[in-house]
Amino acid sequence: MDLREQLRRAGVVGAGGGGFPTYAKLGRRAQIVIANGAECEPLLHKDAAIMEHRASAVVSGLLWAMKATGASRGIVALKAKRARAARAIEQAIDGSTVEICLLEDYYPAGDEVDLVFTAVGLQVPSAGIPPDVGVLVCNVETLANLAAAAEGQPVTRKTITLAGAVGSPATLTVPIGTSIRDALGAVGGVRAADPVFFVGGLMMGELTTDAQRPVTKTTAGVVVLPRAHPLVERRMRPAVAQRAVGKSACDQCRYCTELCPRYLLGYRVEPHQVMRGLGFSPAAGARWGSFGLLCSACGLCTLYSCPESLYPKEACDDAKRELGRVAASSAPRAAKPHGLRDARRVPTRALVARLGIAEYDHPAPLGADLPHPERVTLPLRQGAGTAGNPLVSPGDRVHLGQPLTAVPPDALGAPIHAPFAAVVGSVDSGHITLDRRT
Ligand code: SF4
Ligand code: SF4
């Protein structure tokens, strides 16, 4: 069977958070494949753990991806500070043509547009994607899953970091569908009276108070903070209040723009202009909103750059929602990086200090795999594309790796599989629950 079909059946999707089905990503030719281990979300360490402990799977997946796309260069990109992971990768690539690119410790090093320029000096055109310049970027865990899928193993487990106000920060591999509560139980539980959970990280993750929320194929980690933490208060501020304070307090100092990674790469992203639009009618504001359409939502402007603690990233989010994304037909334009880009990179340690999370900035070493929980909840859709159609009914007995959904052959999507032997508890339009078979 051809590799892409194997990946489609195994349900491999971007494990760094993107969730794009990998078989579709491998559908374009490329000259270079980059294994993205840059991992820049503060407090998360799961990619470092994967490279340290599954280095040969990462490199094997990279070689498979190179073969599938016709690429002649393969590069593993990771931060120089990840010394153990770098050593493991060096050993795994020994004897192959795969290269290592060691990065400095800045945010957002893992943004793929930023990474392509840093690692190979190629500028993704405005409104374009890395394949437009012949580069395929895949998260390191995705590549490890790709290697497993090439041997017939579907995606049933996920490696995540559990950090913040928890007993003992750690990185664990858990059955997909495990609840946040069960995962946190394995690291000594929560150390905050009124906790909230940043799923996917503090900068770009989602905030939830629902401890029953399941780990999916795209969950990179969970950071727990007490509700009283200033970061939580900022994130929970209602959108109407964010806009009101922005309208009255933005002094157009431009710091948000001058430190914006996309602006510094030469793209037409100027969040101060989007903020200016808050004071205009919706029609006039559209002119200013257009400066936010290529924003990557990295969050740096809101959480680091703005001295007034305003919400330029959220203003860009609004602009994207209201104006739509840059039209697919708009011709990619060449962009030219700002001369001070390197000097204006934001070091992770400065970001950690600004976020007020230094007390939580600890290693999160790989722990023992989580035993199978009593119950898992599997969303039918765990990435880009359409949800699969359930193949099982309540009461069915399923075995490890059994497909639980099927995606129509002509649709983009990824099926889900049983992460252990279980009995189907419920099936509805959004989820399948499984109870551990005793
Ligand atoms: S940094 Fe803050 S105050 Fe300055 S222009 Fe941007 S949003 Fe306005
Ligand atoms: S979130 Fe802010 S800093 Fe990040 S790309 Fe968008 S405008 Fe730039």
48 and 82 share a domain?
yes
DSSP 8-state symbol, 113: H
Pocket test for ligand 1, best of 250, 270, 276, 309 (most atoms within 8 A of CB): 250
144 and 10 share a domain?
yes
Contacts of 182 (CB under 8 A, 6+ apart): 174, 370, 373
162 and 250 share a domain?
no
- Whether 225 is in a domain gets the answer yes
The two beta strands, 170-175 and 157-164, are antiparallel
Q: Spell out which residues line ligand 2, taking CB within 6 angstroms.
A: 260-262, 269, 271, 295-301, 312-313, 316
Q: Spell out which residues line ligand 1, taking CB within 6 angstroms.
A: 250-256, 271-272, 275, 305-306, 308, 310, 312
108 and 33 share a domain?
yes
**Structural domain span for residue 120:** 3-150
Going by alpha carbons, the residue nearest to atom 3 of ligand 1 is 250
325 and 387 share a domain?
no
211 and 259 share a domain?
no
Cα-to-centroid distance, 262 and ligand 2 (Å):
7
Cα-to-centroid distance, 62 and ligand 2 (Å):
30
399: tokens are 């075995």
Rounded to an integer, what distance in angstroms lies between the CA atom of residue 412 and that of residue 384?
8
Cα-to-centroid distance, 252 and ligand 1 (Å):
5
Three-state helix/strand/coil letters over 262-330: HHHCCCCCCHHHHHHHHHCCHHHHHHHHHHHCCCCCCCHHHHHHCCCCCCHHHHHHHHHHHHCCCCCCC
Going by alpha carbons, the residue nearest to atom 1 of ligand 1 is 306
260 and 308 share a domain?
yes
Q: What's the pLDDT tens digit per position in 416-437?
A: 999 999 999 999 999 999 999 7
Identity at 245, one-letter amino acid code: V
Q: Are 142 and 12 in contact (CB under 8 A)?
A: yes
Distances in whole angstroms, Cα of residue 109 to Cα of each of 37, 39, 243, 333: 9, 7, 29, 23
| Regions of the chain short of the pLDDT cut 70 | 325-334, 438
Rounded to an integer, what distance in angstroms lies between the CA atom of residue 417 and that of residue 399?
9
106 and 198 share a domain?
no
Task: Give me the pLDDT at residue 328, please.
Answer: 37
Task: Give me the pLDDT at residue 149, please.
Answer: 98
Q: What's the pLDDT tens digit per position in 12-68?
A: 999 988 899 999 999 999 999 999 999 999 999 999 999 999 999 999 999 999 999
Total length of the chain: 438
- At CB < 8 A and 24+ separation, what contacts does 281-289 make? 282/322, 286/322, 286/323, 288/319, 289/315, 289/318, 289/319, 289/322, 289/323
Going by alpha carbons, the residue nearest to atom 6 of ligand 2 is 295
* Distance, C-alpha 340 to centroid of its chain: 27
Task: Give me the pLDDT at residue 437, please.
Answer: 74
Ligand 1 atom showing the smallest separation from residue 246 Cα: 7
Whichever domain contains 398, its CATH number is: 2.40.50
The count of domains in the chain is 4
Ligand nearest to the CA of 311: 1
Ligand nearest to the CA of 346: 2
Pocket test for ligand 1, best of 245, 278, 306 (most atoms within 8 A of CB): 306
Rounded to an integer, what distance in angstroms lies between the CA atom of residue 302 and that of residue 324?
21
Q: Are 105 and 80 in contact (CB under 8 A)?
A: yes
Overall pTM surpassing 0.85 (yes/no):
yes
224 and 141 share a domain?
no
Pocket test for ligand 2, best of 242, 259, 262, 291 (most atoms within 8 A of CB): 262
253 and 279 share a domain?
yes
Contacts of 90 (CB under 8 A, 6+ apart): 100
Ligand nearest to the CA of 259: 2
* Torsion, Cα of 354, 356, 360, 363 (10° steps): 0
Q: Are 163 and 359 in contact (CB under 8 A)?
A: no
Which helix H or strand E contains 170, and what residues bound it? Answer: strand 170-175
22 and 131 share a domain?
yes
Cα-to-centroid distance, 246 and ligand 1 (Å):
8
Cα-to-centroid distance, 328 and ligand 2 (Å):
21
Cα-to-centroid distance, 8 and ligand 2 (Å):
33
Ligand 2 atom showing the smallest separation from residue 271 Cα: 7
Going by alpha carbons, the residue nearest to atom 2 of ligand 1 is 306
Q: Are 78 and 51 in contact (CB under 8 A)?
A: yes
3-state helix, strand, coil split of the chain in percent (to 5) is 35, 20, 45
What is the per-residue burial (b if ≥16 Cβ within 10 Å, else e) of 71-93?
A: bebbbbbbbeebeebbebbeebb
> Looking at 150, 176, 205, which one is the last position of a domain?
150
